[in-house]
Structure 1
Amino acid sequence: MSTSAVPHPSTRPGPQRRRGTRGPRLALAGVAAAALLLAGTAPAVAGQHRDDGRPPHLTAATPGPLLECASLAGFGFDDTVVTGAALVPAGALSHGGEPIGAHCLVTGRMNERVSDVDGNSYAIGFEMRLPTEWSGRYLYQANGGIDGTVVTATGAVGGGESGLQQGMAVLSSDAGHAANQNPLFGLDPQARLDYGYQAVGTLTPMAKALVEAAYGRGPDRSYMTGGSNGGRHTMVGAARYADDYDGFLAIAPGFNLPQAAVAQIWGAQQYATVATTAADLATAFTPAEREVVAGAILRRCDRLDGLTDGMVQASDACQRAFSVDRHVPTCVGGDRDGTCLTTAQKAVVRAVFAGARTSGGEEVYSSFPYDPGLTQPGWAGWEFGASVTLDPGALGFVFSTPPADPGVLADLRGYALGLDVDAAAEAIYRAGGRYTESAMAFMTPPDPTDLGTLRDRGGKLMVIHGAADAVFSADDTADWYDALDRAERGHAERFARYFEVPGMGHVSGGPATDRYAALAALVDWVERGVAPSSLVASVNPANPVLPADWSAGRSRPLCVYPAVARYRHGDPELASSFVCAGGHGRGGH
């Protein structure tokens, strides 16, 4: 994508699929031979082997003890200032109710400068936690939102795991700006680029050097993980930094985040047309009305996986089976009483789930799947809250070229509801003047279907997304995987796998089994060649939105897309009673 001009609409990349029309995986004769030829073009790497045309297998990390801590206060690296280094005793931090072991905490900043655009001071702030009992692994913890905060480097994201608890040396950063600079850091061109991808490239060699200083050797294996914007960082990393990392775990990745921001604001404008209280978008689609829609989805789709259990595993089939117009009661006379939707409400809900469009009908972002998880409060928070508070600031100052006038901060809601979506959809592709890269260039993977470097050196990518995510669409992620699989001639699963979580909202939560050990599975895949055929996921008993009739011990398999968890026999609360099979137009794994 050119960064010097707005592309013609016909040349802009964008969503190509509506949910329920996913095409079959290509079955090509001679694919194995082609894969062998492709794999053979990469240089051999010590400790790797190739099997049947599959990507190379990386050797396992070797544990080691922490050798230095306090002396790391004097650690030297280009454009880096270390501000502290101290031992943190075991139990001072915990994760999931379990103590984290003793580790060394190093804090600092890189690339301090004063902007010649806004006169503010910028730096890439970071902290790194180095366990005394080290696994031999390094983990880059990519953080969410629009960054700006050095989140505690426990390596925790989605799923319930902690990389630090697993003995990984973990790095966390603010991606190049402070929280009090949000969202106006977008006025500074370098801060935009750091936030988009360059902070990762800057921090990575420093972090590995710090690991070497602490343990006497560099990391044997390096990983990257994050959820939401952190998932976007991870997807970008898999495309840009595959030489530096061996495994990537992306949760709810907003890898088309600028498009999603425009779509969120467009959605807010649609909801405003049916809101009963002008100041409260949530009155457009109340909790009671969302329960009505969720109930209709379940009546049509719950049984499609072979078991009526309050979950929709067969999501693709559901999108074909369910219709808001036909299956949700219509309010008689237009009166809303919480048991129906008006004709106007149905039109809005249908449009929002179908995906944002310009006034000329061009797609802005992806469709969203209908899922009963839309009842959770977090879903409403993204649709009716963030869409008029967070998204307009990010779009106006970070994703648009030129940026908006700072005066719009006085009324972000008014800015969002009055936004010219057609112009906004163009501005995220525009570059010019001091802004040398468009938002769609610096925020997204350069080519999300070209992961040849990752593939050929034995790296692996796992992506997990909730079907009820209201801000970043699981449809968009499935669409990406379909395109990657086509580019890989039907063999993307050799190095990349996607798992969809029914009912799960953004990153976690919702009526879902949202606890799973994906990071451990990624390590097994990268270092032992054990590809995950599924992940066992369980409920979080502390989740306040779990239905009352669900067992606190409920578990389900998360299947490798496009396979679906289908009930076979046995205890309906246990994952072992299900099998991953089928999928729209495809065989199981």
Structure 2
Amino acid sequence: MQARTFPASASAAAILLLLAGCGGGDDNSAPAAQSNATTSILASSGCAGVTKVSLPGVTIQSATEVAAGTVRPSGVTTGDFLPAHCVVRGVADPYIGTDNLDHAIGFELRLPTAWSGQFMFQGGGGNDGTLAPAMGTNTGALAASAGTGAYALARGFAVVSTDGGHQGTDAASYGKDARARTDHAYNAYDRTAQIAKSLIAQYYGRNAEHSYFLGCSGGGRQGMMFSQRFPSYFDGIVASAPAMKVSSGASIAAAWDSQQYRAIAPPDASGNPILANAFSNADLALVSKGVLDACDAKDGAVDGMVQDPASCGFDPAVLQCSGAKTDSCLSAVQVSALQKAFAGPRDSAGNALYSSWPWDAGISNAGWRSWKLGSSQTATPDSRYVTLIQNAMAYEFFTPFDANFDIFKFNFDTDPARLAAYSAVYDTYRTTDLTPYTSHGGKMIFFHGGSDPIFSANDTIDYYKRLATTAGGMANAQSFARLFVVPGMNHCSGGPATDAYDGLAAIVNWVEKGTAPDSVPARSTASFAGRSRPLCAYPKTAHYTGSGNIEDAANFVCQ
């Protein structure tokens, strides 16, 4: 396919048509797979035989056998090793873009010798651009407590990952090329799924019996994209902290918050504001305590967690100093900045441009700071809003791209229109009719941290409510989709939370055993030693029964 470029004068509608015409497009058919093979590669020639497979547009670069008892997942230093498996790496559809850079869809597929018959697509995140080891990353921080056993590969799944169709995490490395932008939106994932299913069928001599997708953040968006564009590909999807409105909502909120907080930040010796110092760690701890004072006891247990942050009516005005600023109070400008930021971005006419944010105790965690404020003690900020979101907006989300974009100069009246064309292709919040996905029994689980600093849990709650309306009511929606808000959790994991939970087991049990998850067992990995809680399917939340150890999930019910 010939690469395409967008002239600066192109209209949004014309650009949308060009983008929609690239790549795999909307395809409801299942990926091609070679089923019922008479002789499997595994039986005939083993791992090395994969290098001889011929697929259109695909180059198998390597197929390496990994012996049992020799490799653990990255970051796991003790305990069990991964089972024997074959690591296949390759590229698909290489081309030279209009940006004169080499582009291709990179993938890694791991094929266990003792295969369970299950397949998992491991979602990416951020700007993608790197090929993560396809070991089957689970949800939350489960690996921190469960180690190797948390990974799908250790459970016998074949697992695939992709770099999203480009090499390099800087959006400038792909955002200037129309085809690369489309690959990152959906085509790279479509192609990777097709390639993986075909290789699996040839390697084992049979198709996967059940197929799953798990991802967080950008990976959560990818899961939602599959349910909408390619609804036949997966039986179960887990979309955590889904970036469903990233290119036209959360990115605007990133600009809004950055501007609100920098406007009150103390200056350096030259008079330039230091964003990280808009709030000290003591200030954020004070806000966290204020939230807990106002809302912690509502679930029956004073335990440092707000089980229903969406219902917390906290107002930071109660923390405002009556005199000089001290560590025990907030200045008037700090209070005002928090109120404006948590209410969500608006244009000059007062129209909301993204959702509000729930008040939750995780605001004092390092994960919240890293996204909103950063830690740089200079006038050059290092918040992830600036280092990641500004970069993505400049080179991918804007049409045409704008290499000189400054997030602190985003215009909330005129700049949202510059995001519209790509949002129509990339964002996934608009589609609430999932009938093509659910008609073959497809199930979906959402997880979202109450203190997520980049994608608001309120936005996912809003989507779930709209999903229920389209489905004809909450009961109908719960027959195929469940939402779990994780109190205190930051982005994907971390925070004062019970952030270790097995989303893979939850979706497998639902798809293969018909057991819908009314609750998901969760444990704390850091903040609360020995604590467990049930994560409750929305709209229910966990409540203490009034007796027994408050560290034990057995003494909480979902209501």
Q: 1:448 Cα shift?
A: 2.9
Cα separation, 1, equivalents of 2:486 and 2:42: 38
CA distance change for structure 1 residues 222 and 346 in 2, over 3 Å: closer, same or farther?
Answer: same
SS in 1 for 2:154: coil
Cα separation, 2, equivalents of 1:421 and 1:183: 23
Say which of 236, 246, 251 aligns to 1:261.
Answer: 251
Q: 1:90 Cα shift?
A: 1.9
Q: Deviations for 1:430-450, whole angstroms, at most 9, x for unmatched residues?
A: xxxxxxxx2212212274311
Q: 1:292 Cα shift?
A: 0.8
SS in 1 for 2:396: helix
Task: Name the structure 1 match of 2:505.
Answer: 520
Number of aligned positions between the proteins: 496
The answer to whether the Cα contact below 8 Å between 2:166 and 2:173 also exists between their aligned partners in 1 is no
> Which letter does structure 1 place at the counterpart of 2:410?
L
1:324 counterpart = 2:324: no
Task: Name the structure 2 match of 1:72.
Answer: 50
Cα separation, 2, equivalents of 1:446 and 1:79: 32
Cα separation, 2, equivalents of 1:576 and 1:146: 40
| Structure 2 spans left out of the alignment, 5+ residues | 1-10, 17-27, 29-39, 143-149, 374-382
Q: 1:420 Cα shift?
A: 2.3
The answer to whether the Cα contact below 8 Å between 2:449 and 2:457 also exists between their aligned partners in 1 is yes
Q: Deviations for 1:396-425, whole angstroms, at most 9, x for unmatched residues?
A: 1100011103xx3xxx7xx22123233321
The answer to whether the Cα contact below 8 Å between 2:310 and 2:359 also exists between their aligned partners in 1 is no
Cα separation, 1, equivalents of 2:410 and 2:344: 17
Say which of 299, 310, 321 aligns to 2:304.
Answer: 310
> Which letter does structure 2 place at the counterpart of 1:445?
T
Task: Name the structure 2 match of 1:211.
Answer: 200
SS in 2 for 1:261: helix
Task: Name the structure 2 match of 1:572.
Answer: 550
Task: Name the structure 2 match of 1:4.
Answer: 13
Task: Name the structure 2 match of 1:103.
Answer: 85
- Correspondence list, 1:180-195, <5 A: 182-195=171-184
Task: Name the structure 2 match of 1:560.
Answer: 537
> Which letter does structure 1 place at the counterpart of 2:540?
A
> Which letter does structure 2 place at the counterpart of 1:343?
A
> Which letter does structure 1 place at the counterpart of 2:316?
V
Cα separation, 1, equivalents of 2:346 and 2:68: 52
Task: Name the structure 1 match of 2:379.
Answer: none
Say which of 212, 226, 237 aligns to 1:248.
Answer: 237
The answer to whether the Cα contact below 8 Å between 2:244 and 2:429 also exists between their aligned partners in 1 is no
- Correspondence list, 1:416-565, <5 A: 416-429=407-420, 438-445=421-428, 447-490=430-473, 491-540=476-525, 543=526, 546=527, 550=528, 552-565=529-542
Task: Name the structure 2 match of 1:129.
Answer: 110
The answer to whether the Cα contact below 8 Å between 2:449 and 2:485 also exists between their aligned partners in 1 is yes
Cα separation, 1, equivalents of 2:68 and 2:554: 36
Task: Name the structure 2 match of 1:584.
Answer: none
1:358 counterpart = 2:340: no
Task: Name the structure 1 match of 2:136.
Answer: 155
Q: 1:454 Cα shift?
A: 1.6
| Structure 1 spans left out of the alignment, 5+ residues | 8-41, 43-63, 430-437, 582-589
Task: Name the structure 1 match of 2:376.
Answer: none
CA distance change for structure 1 residues 554 and 338 in 2, over 3 Å: closer, same or farther?
Answer: same
Cα separation, 2, equivalents of 1:527 and 1:324: 47
Q: Deviations for 1:544-587, whole angstroms, at most 9, x for unmatched residues?
A: xx1xxx3x211000000010100013211111100000xxxxxx
CA distance change for structure 1 residues 279 and 105 in 2, over 3 Å: closer, same or farther?
Answer: farther
Task: Name the structure 2 match of 1:18.
Answer: none
Moved more, 187-196 or 157-166: 157-166
The answer to whether the Cα contact below 8 Å between 2:245 and 2:429 also exists between their aligned partners in 1 is no
Task: Name the structure 2 match of 1:15.
Answer: none
1:274 counterpart = 2:264: yes
> Which letter does structure 2 place at the counterpart of 1:481?
Y
1:92 counterpart = 2:67: no
Cα separation, 1, equivalents of 2:468 and 2:429: 17
Q: Deviations for 1:491-513, whole angstroms, at most 9, x for unmatched residues?
A: 10000000000000000000100
Q: 1:459 Cα shift?
A: 0.7
Cα separation, 2, equivalents of 1:476 and 1:93: 39
Q: Deviations for 1:259-294, whole angstroms, at most 9, x for unmatched residues?
A: 211210221011011101345212112211111111
SS in 2 for 1:392: helix
The answer to whether the Cα contact below 8 Å between 1:187 and 1:398 also exists between their aligned partners in 2 is yes
Cα separation, 2, equivalents of 1:575 and 1:448: 35
Q: 1:138 Cα shift?
A: 0.9
Task: Name the structure 1 match of 2:120.
Answer: 139
The answer to whether the Cα contact below 8 Å between 1:66 and 1:134 also exists between their aligned partners in 2 is no
Q: Deviations for 1:351-400, whole angstroms, at most 9, x for unmatched residues?
A: 11111112222222111100011101110110020112211110011000
- Correspondence list, 1:360-439, <5 A: 360-384=349-373, 385-405=383-403, 408=404, 415-429=406-420, 438-439=421-422
SS in 1 for 2:297: helix
Moved over 4 A (4+): none
> Which letter does structure 1 place at the counterpart of 2:515?
V
The answer to whether the Cα contact below 8 Å between 1:3 and 1:441 also exists between their aligned partners in 2 is no
The answer to whether the Cα contact below 8 Å between 2:108 and 2:134 also exists between their aligned partners in 1 is yes
Moved more, 416-425 or 370-379: 416-425
Cα separation, 2, equivalents of 1:315 and 1:303: 12
SS in 2 for 1:223: strand
Cα separation, 1, equivalents of 2:278 and 2:223: 35
Task: Name the structure 1 match of 2:35.
Answer: none
CA distance change for structure 1 residues 65 and 479 in 2, over 3 Å: closer, same or farther?
Answer: farther
The answer to whether the Cα contact below 8 Å between 2:127 and 2:169 also exists between their aligned partners in 1 is no
SS in 1 for 2:254: helix
CA distance change for structure 1 residues 460 and 180 in 2, over 3 Å: closer, same or farther?
Answer: closer
The normalised TM-score by structure 1 is 0.81
Task: Name the structure 1 match of 2:8.
Answer: none
The answer to whether the Cα contact below 8 Å between 1:225 and 1:250 also exists between their aligned partners in 2 is yes
Cα separation, 2, equivalents of 1:343 and 1:487: 43
Moved more, 355-364 or 376-385: 355-364
Q: 1:210 Cα shift?
A: 0.4
Q: 1:181 Cα shift?
A: 5.3
> Which letter does structure 2 place at the counterpart of 1:108?
G
> Which letter does structure 2 place at the counterpart of 1:228?
S
The answer to whether the Cα contact below 8 Å between 1:246 and 1:526 also exists between their aligned partners in 2 is yes
Task: Name the structure 2 match of 1:33.
Answer: none
Cα separation, 2, equivalents of 1:74 and 1:181: 34
The answer to whether the Cα contact below 8 Å between 2:225 and 2:428 also exists between their aligned partners in 1 is yes
The answer to whether the Cα contact below 8 Å between 1:274 and 1:284 also exists between their aligned partners in 2 is yes
Cα separation, 2, equivalents of 1:253 and 1:447: 13
- Correspondence list, 1:332-351, <5 A: 332-333=322-323, 335-351=324-340
> Which letter does structure 2 place at the counterpart of 1:512?
A
Q: 1:337 Cα shift?
A: 2.1
The answer to whether the Cα contact below 8 Å between 1:262 and 1:395 also exists between their aligned partners in 2 is no
Cα separation, 2, equivalents of 1:357 and 1:485: 27
SS in 2 for 1:99: coil
